[in-house]
């Protein structure tokens, strides 16, 4: 009789154990959950084409310029003057991490001066700016030596150039190695014919925007030769972007 009850107890224990294991195999509650092997989606790096708006974000048709750049494969990051230091830190971090993409800065009005301020911040870290594009710069300044190529678009106004507002200015370079074009739209018939050019409209002029887009896309392409550098027309004369100090 004792053997019978011992065998019965063993049978009941085994049956209970099998039931428990079967239930655990279904719910897996007692097992640590395996981590998913799937990697999170990669976050695309911010663009190395930086567009700097003017005071309070003013820039008529800036969105159209940014859209045109995007359509040409040159997505741009738009910032304001207050974001210059943060943007400089981001670029420095990227360069130290091996980001060797060409760097293009574009600024309009006060934003042009902020683009120069950003350039000087990068100069302290020995970082070059491949292309700097300035439009109707608000205050006189010079182009730092860490800029490879600079296009400065402006409209002179001889009658009131002495007024420190509502007119563009030519720039100078701090290094003879910087390729500079001072592009005065007052002597460019095509641009003037398309819109009334002044301090408030240079940045939205279709011809000027097309010129900027061409310059940016050229800067982002590996230069095969100097012959690939686009040319611009100045009152019937042809000048290459590589010309230094071109001015009307």
Structure-block tokens of residue 117: 């301020």
204-229 residue pLDDT tens: 788 888 999 999 999 998 654 344 44
CA atoms within 13 A on the CB side of 170: 17
Residue 158: how many other CB atoms lie within 10 Å: 8
pLDDT at 23: 47
In terms of Cα–Cα distance, which of 47, 56, 104 is closest to 77?
A: 47
Report whether pLDDT(244) > 50.
no
Bigger pLDDT: 118 or 185?
A: 118
Report whether pLDDT(246) > 90.
no
DSSP conformational letter for 60: T
The verdict on pTM exceeding 0.95 is no
For the ranges 46-50, 67-71, 160-164, 235-239, which has the lowest average pLDDT?
Answer: 235-239
pLDDT at 60: 80
pLDDT at 118: 97
For the chain, report the end-to-end CA distance as a whole number of angstroms. 119
pLDDT at 204: 77
Mean of per-residue pLDDT scores for the chain: 75
Report whether pLDDT(239) > 60.
no
Q: What is the percent of the chain with per-residue pLDDT over 90, rounded to a whole number?
A: 43
Q: What is the percent of the chain with per-residue pLDDT over 70, rounded to a whole number?
A: 61
Per-residue confidence band for 80, with pLDDT thresholds at 50, 70 and 90 = very high
Q: Specify the 3-state DSSP secondary structure of 71.
A: helix
DSSP conformational letter for 11: H
93-110 residue pLDDT tens: 999 999 999 999 999 989
What is the CATH superfamily name and number for domain 49-222+231-240? Answer: Alpha/Beta hydrolase fold, catalytic domain (3.40.50.1820)
């Amino acid at each position: 009789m004792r053997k019978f009850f011992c065998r019965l107890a063993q049978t009941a224990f085994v049956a209970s154990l099998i039931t428990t294991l079967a239930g655990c195999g279904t719910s897996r509650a007692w097992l640590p959950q395996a981590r998913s092997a799937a990697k999170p989606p990669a976050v695309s790096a911010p663009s190395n084409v930086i567009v700097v708006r003017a005071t309070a974000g003013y820039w008529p048709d800036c969105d159209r310029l940014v859209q045109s750049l995007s359509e040409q494969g040159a997505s741009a990051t738009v910032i304001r003057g207050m974001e210059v230091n943060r943007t400089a830190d981001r670029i420095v971090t990227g360069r130290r991490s091996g980001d060797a993409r060409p760097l293009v800065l574009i600024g309009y009005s006060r934003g042009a001066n902020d683009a120069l301020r950003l350039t000087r911040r990068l100069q302290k870290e020995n970082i070059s700016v491949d292309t700097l594009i300035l439009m109707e710069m608000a205050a006189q300044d010079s182009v730092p030596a860490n800029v490879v190529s600079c296009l400065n678009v402006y409209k002179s106004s001889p009658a009131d150039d002495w007024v420190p507002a509502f007119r563009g200015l030519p720039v100078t370079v701090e290094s003879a190695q910087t390729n500079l074009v001072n592009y005065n739209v007052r002597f460019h018939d095509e641009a003037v014919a398309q819109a009334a050019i002044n301090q408030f409209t240079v940045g939205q002029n279709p011809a000027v925007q097309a010129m900027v887009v061409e310059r940016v896309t050229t800067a982002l392409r590996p230069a095969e030769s100097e012959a690939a550098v686009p040319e611009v027309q100045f009152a019937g004369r042809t000048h290459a972007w590589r010309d230094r100090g071109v001015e009307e």
